[in-house]
């Protein structure tokens, strides 16, 4: 199993951060890269990381859980401001797992992860639609990671 990556991000522009700028937790190097992007991009006027939750029903256990989206950003676009809820995920987790000749434990795990992610993202899309916000999933492609 892969190692867990966790670090604190110290922003250069703490006044842009919505929440406690001394407690920005990055759960992956990709999230850290996105934090830096938000911190240094002049068009992003405000951002936060895991600062709110969205309830969703897990297809695995049928119970209500809390989904903490990775980021919320407020962007100046031309003559208006737009708000985005952003999830940073590997591209592999945005598509259903490939069928295999034999069902393995890793296939079951990937299938559960995919199903839970789909439930979270559906809840996020509904949450955002109700608030005129856009939900985006950012993968290694958008982050320029190979």
Task: Point out the residues that are catalytic.
Answer: 31, 70, 89
How far is Cα 135 from Cα 146, in angstroms, rounded to an integer? Answer: 24
Instruction: Give the helix/strand (H/E) hosting 84.
Output: strand 80-88
Q: Are 85 and 135 in contact (CB under 8 A)?
A: yes
**Distance between first and last Cα of the chain:** 21
Two structure tokens written together for 5: 């990556």
């Amino acid at each position: 199993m892969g190692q867990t990556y966790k670090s604190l991000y110290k922003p250069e522009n703490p006044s842009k951060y919505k929440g406690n700028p001394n407690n920005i937790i990055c759960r992956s190097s990709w999230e850290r890269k996105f934090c830096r992007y938000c911190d240094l991009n002049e068009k992003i006027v405000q951002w936060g990381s895991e600062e709110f939750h969205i309830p969703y029903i897990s297809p695995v256990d049928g119970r209500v859980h809390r989904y903490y989206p990775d980021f919320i950003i407020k962007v100046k676009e031309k003559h208006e401001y737009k708000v985005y809820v952003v999830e940073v995920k590997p591209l592999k987790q945005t598509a259903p797992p490939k069928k295999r000749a034999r069902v393995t434990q890793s296939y079951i795990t990937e299938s559960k992860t995919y199903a839970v992610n789909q439930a979270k993202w559906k809840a996020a899309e509904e949450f955002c639609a109700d608030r005129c916000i856009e939900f985006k999933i950012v993968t290694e492609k958008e982050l320029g990671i190979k």
